[in-house]
Chains A and B, each alone.
Chain A
Amino acid sequence: MNLINKILVYIDDTEESLAAGQYAILLAKKLEAKLTAIFVINTKALQDLLKAKIFISSEQQGYEHDMREDGERYLKLITKMATSKEVEIETVLKEGIPSSEVKYWVEENSPDLFIIGGENHKLKSLREELVSEKEQAGRIVKCNVLHVKNIDKVEQLFEISDII
C-alpha cells in the first residue's frame, strides 16, 4: 500500500498555484497516484462585495463570467501540463467559498495529500481576515498539506523531468 494514492491540488490564477500544479503532476507520476485539480470560483466574495456596495451589479456579473472563464482556462492549462507528462488528471470546478468547498471535497473524496502554492508574505500579518482562502483551505482540511514555495526550482524540475 502506497503512502500517497490520491493527491488534490488547489488551482487559482496565481503563479504559485501553477507551480503547485507542476509539483503535483511530478509527484503523481512518481508515486503513480491519482491526481485531481480543484478551482473554486469565489462567488461568496462577489456577493459580499455587491452587498457592501463595493461592486455595482454589472461588475458582479462581469466578474462572475470572467472568473468562470478563468477557472476553465486554468484547469485546461493544468490538464495540458499533466498530459505532457503522461499523467491522468481529473478537474473539478466549484463555486462558493473556496476554503469550504475544498474542505467538503476532501471530506467526500479523502485524498492523502493536498498541495497548494505557498505564499511568501512580505508581511507576517496575524490578522485572521487577511488569511487568503487558499491558506484557509490548507488550515482546515483534514489531510496532509504540502506548500510549494520555490516556484523557480519547481518550474526547472518540471522542464527537465523527462530527462532525469
Chain B
Amino acid sequence: MGITNLLDKNFIKVPLVSKTKIDVLNELVDILRKNSLNVEYDKIYSKILDRENKLSTGLERGVALPHIKTDLVKKLILVVGISPEGIDFDAQDRGLSHIFFMMIAPADQPSQHIEVLSEIAKTMNSEIFLKMLKSAKSADDVLRIFEE
C-alpha cells in the first residue's frame, strides 16, 4: 500500500493553526479524534512525543515526519497538515517546518510503514513538489498536488 492509497481528505488539515511543536502534535492527533477513530488518542500523543524526544523528526526543507508503530491502531493512518507560517520543530536544518506527515502504523505491519515513509522521503527530493504543498490552501489542493 502506497501513500496515494492512504491519503484521505478528512485526515488533511490546511492550515494548521499551532505555533509550537507541542501544539502541532496535539493538533495532528486531534484530527484522529475529529474522525472518531476508535483509538486511545492520549496514548498515541504521548508515544509520538516520546519518539520526538529521542530525535526530532523535523527534517530538511520544511518537512516533518512524526511517526510511531504501535498496537493502538489496526491499520496504517496518515495525517497531513500544512502550516504556511511554519513551526519550530527542531528540524535538522534548523529551519521552520511547514509540511507535516504524521504516521501511525500498526506494530504487525512494519513493511507497509517502511514503504510509505520511504515514499515520503523520496518526495522530499522535489523542491517544486514541496513548494506546491507548502502553498496549498485546502485539503483538496493537497490531494490535487499528489495527483499531478
- Residue contact A52 to B110, C-beta cutoff 8 Å: no
- Residue contact B54 to A125, C-beta cutoff 8 Å: no
On chain A, the residues within 8 Å of B2 by CB distance are 119, 121, 130-132, 135
- Residue contact B111 to A123, C-beta cutoff 8 Å: no
Chain B residue with Cβ nearest A53: B92
- For the complex, is A140 an interface residue (Cβ under 8 Å from B)? no
- Residue from the list A12, A16, A54 in contact with B57, Cβ < 8 A: A54
The interface of chain A, by Cβ under 8 A from chain B, is: 12-14, 16, 41-42, 45-46, 48-49, 52-54, 56, 63, 66-67, 70-71, 119-127, 129-133, 135
- Residue contact B3 to A130, C-beta cutoff 8 Å: yes
Q: How many A-B pairs fall under 8 Å by CB?
A: 103
Docked complex Cα distance between A122 and B124 (Å) = 22
Chain B residue with Cβ nearest A125: B4
Secondary structure dominating the interface of A: loop
On chain B, the residues within 8 Å of A121 by CB distance are 2, 4-5
Looking at the assembled complex, report how far the CB atom of B145 sits from the nearest CB atom of chain A, in whole angstroms.
9
Docked complex Cα distance between A123 and B111 (Å) = 21
Docked complex Cα distance between A151 and B135 (Å) = 38
Looking at the assembled complex, report how far the CB atom of B60 sits from the nearest CB atom of chain A, in whole angstroms.
8
- Contacting A at CB under 8 A, from B67-119, are 67, 69, 92, 107-115, 117-119
Docked complex Cα distance between A115 and B8 (Å) = 28
On chain B, the residues within 8 Å of A133 by CB distance are 115
B2, B92, B114, B119 pick with most chain A CB within 10 angstroms: B114
Extra inter-chain contacts (10) besides given A53-B92, A122-B5, CB under 8 Å: A14-B109, A16-B1, A45-B117, A48-B121, A54-B65, A54-B117, A54-B121, A71-B111, A119-B2, A130-B2
